[in-house]
């Protein structure tokens, strides 16, 4: 069929305004309200993503209440949300890496919205095996889990402790560590969390809050543990980390408090999950290699972002909370 020179690929019309869950002031979960805002326009090097889902992270609560201000002086209305999944709706000048309509992961701020304009480097392709429900909850946490496990340089059969394994980062880190054929010892509280973490591949699960946590870990690893990924503070944390052998490694993403103590002869790494074309490609390979499952604890419509944050603040979320923005599983 001949295509006329003036033919253009068909793209959905982009409305002038969009719905977003935003705050007009720092505050409790109820500060998050549904707004109608101008749809952002992608600038040079940016893509406009039509979001289907957005992950709700524990750090989003700190942005909402103002206790963490990563971008300095806030501009209200402020749309939280550091990750989501959707399709490329438009491209600014100079973007060649993505096609209109392509399924993408978004990793930057402003994802509690129907559209977000992001630098193309903050966008990655959605791996084939993930639908939008799983993909919306994998960018920030997947990059953080993978880069933490990579920093530990695990070798086959080495023993790694994942402290805080039932949360958003931990559930993915367990699977990435198993993909490296490590022996994974994990902490999780309660039957549901322990069962999930075992199903994801942990070889043994202990309750970090139990008085005997350190003893249990010592019995599981009488010669010491080779490495630890720390995803939370906790009363038993330092006792557990005392079991890391000389020459071993401990990694934790910035945000974990209190920070683990330094120890002689043990490498301690604090890091941030980094995004970029290389990192997204590594994540996609690791997701396939681990046949990653992304546990979703609860899904709320965008209009109920305040309820999602109230649930987050009650704690003990097993996996990740998510917002559904558009219908369709991608």
Ligand X SMILES: NC(=O)c1ccc[n+]([C@@H]2O[C@H](COP(=O)([O-])OP(=O)(O)OC[C@H]3O[C@@H](n4cnc5c(N)ncnc54)[C@H](OP(=O)(O)O)[C@@H]3O)[C@@H](O)[C@H]2O)c1
Instruction: List interacting residues with ligand X (CB under 6 A).
Output: 57-59, 140-141, 144, 164-170, 187, 189, 193, 208-209, 231-232, 234, 253-256, 272-273, 315-317
Distances (CA, A) of 231 to 139, 190, 205, 227, 250: 17, 17, 15, 13, 11
Strand stretches in 23-142, DSSP E = 33-38, 46-56, 83-91, 103-107, 115-119, 123-125
Minimum distance of ligand X from residue 187's CB (angstroms): 6
**Would you list the DSSP string of 142-169?**
HHHHHHHHHHTT--TT-EEEEETTTSTT
Shortest reach from residue 194's CB to ligand X, in Å: 10
Partners of 19 in beta bridges? 36
Torsion from C-alpha of 178, 184, 190, 193, nearest 10 degrees: -10
**CB closer to ligand X out of 26 and 34:** 26
CB of 204 to ligand X, least distance (A): 16
Specify the residue, 72 or 315, whose C-beta has the smaller distance to ligand X.
315
CA gap 155, 304 in Å, rounded: 44
- Least Å distance, CB 80 to ligand X, is 14
Which CB atom, from 88 or from 186, has the smaller least distance to ligand X? 186
- What span, in angstroms and rounded, lies between the C-alpha atoms of 226 and 30? 44
d(CA 258, CA 250): 14
Minimum CB distance to ligand X, residue 156 (Å): 26
Rounded to an integer, what distance in angstroms lies between the CA atom of residue 211 and that of residue 192? 20
- Which residue's CB is nearer to ligand X, number 9 or number 70? 70
Which is it for strands 159-163 and 204-206: parallel, antiparallel or unpaired?
unpaired
- To ligand X, the closest distance from the beta carbon of 2 in angstroms equals 51
Looking at the Cβ atoms of 297 and 302, the one nearer to ligand X is 297
What is the tally of helices (H) and strands (E) in the chain?
9, 15
Q: Which residue is nearest to ligand X (CB)?
A: 167
**Minimum gap (Å) between residue 147 Cβ and ligand X:** 8
- Cα torsion through 100, 105, 110, 112, rounded to 10: 100
Find the helix or strand (DSSP H, E) in which 249 lies.
strand 244-253
- When the beta carbons of 62 and 102 are compared against ligand X, the nearer one is 62
Choose between 123 and 229: whose C-beta lies nearer to ligand X. 229
Tokens 């599981």 locate to 220
Nearer to ligand X among residue 48 and residue 137 (C-beta): 137
Specify the residue, 19 or 293, whose C-beta has the smaller distance to ligand X.
293
Minimum distance of ligand X from residue 232's CB (angstroms): 3
Tokens of 87: 């399709």
* Longest distance between any two alpha carbons in the chain, whole Å: 74
Smallest separation (angstroms) from ligand X to the CB of 240 = 10
């Amino acid at each position: 069929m001949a295509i006329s020179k003036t033919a253009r690929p068909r793209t959905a019309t982009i409305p002038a305004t969009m719905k977003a869950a935003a705050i007009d002031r720092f505050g409790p979960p109820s500060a998050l309200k549904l707004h109608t805002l101008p749809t952002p326009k992608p600038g040079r090097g940016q893509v406009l993503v039509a979001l289907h889902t957005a992950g709700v992270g524990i750090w989003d609560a700190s942005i909402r209440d103002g206790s963490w201000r990563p971008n300095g002086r806030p501009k209200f209305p402020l749309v939280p949300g550091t990750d989501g999944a959707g399709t490329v709706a438009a491209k600014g000048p100079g973007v060649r890496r993505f096609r209109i309509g392509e399924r993408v992961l978004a990793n930057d701020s402003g994802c509690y919205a129907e559209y977000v304009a992001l630098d193309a480097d903050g966008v990655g392709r959605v791996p084939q095996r993930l639908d939008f429900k799983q993909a919306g909850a994998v960018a920030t946490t997947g990059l953080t889990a993978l880069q933490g496990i990579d920093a530990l340089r695990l070798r086959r059969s080495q023993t790694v402790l994942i402290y805080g394994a039932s949360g958003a980062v931990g559930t993915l880190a367990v699977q990435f560590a198993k993909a490296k054929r490590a022996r994974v010892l994990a902490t999780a509280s309660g039957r549901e969390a322990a069962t999930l973490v075992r199903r994801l591949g942990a070889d043994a699960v202990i309750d970090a809050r139990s008085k005997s946590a350190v003893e249990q870990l010592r019995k599981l690893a009488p010669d010491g543990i080779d490495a630890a990924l720390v995803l939370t503070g906790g009363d038993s944390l330092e006792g557990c980390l005392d079991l890391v052998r000389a020459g071993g490694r401990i990694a934790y993403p910035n945000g974990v408090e209190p920070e683990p103590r330094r120890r002689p002869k043990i490498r301690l790494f604090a890091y941030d999950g980094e995004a970029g074309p290389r990192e997204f490609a590594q994540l996609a390979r690791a997701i396939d290699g681990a046949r990653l499952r992304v546990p979703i604890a609860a899904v709320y419509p965008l209009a109920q972002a305040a309820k999602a944050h109230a649930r987050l603040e009650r704690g003990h979320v097993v996996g990740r909370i998510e917002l559904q923005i558009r219908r369709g599983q991608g």
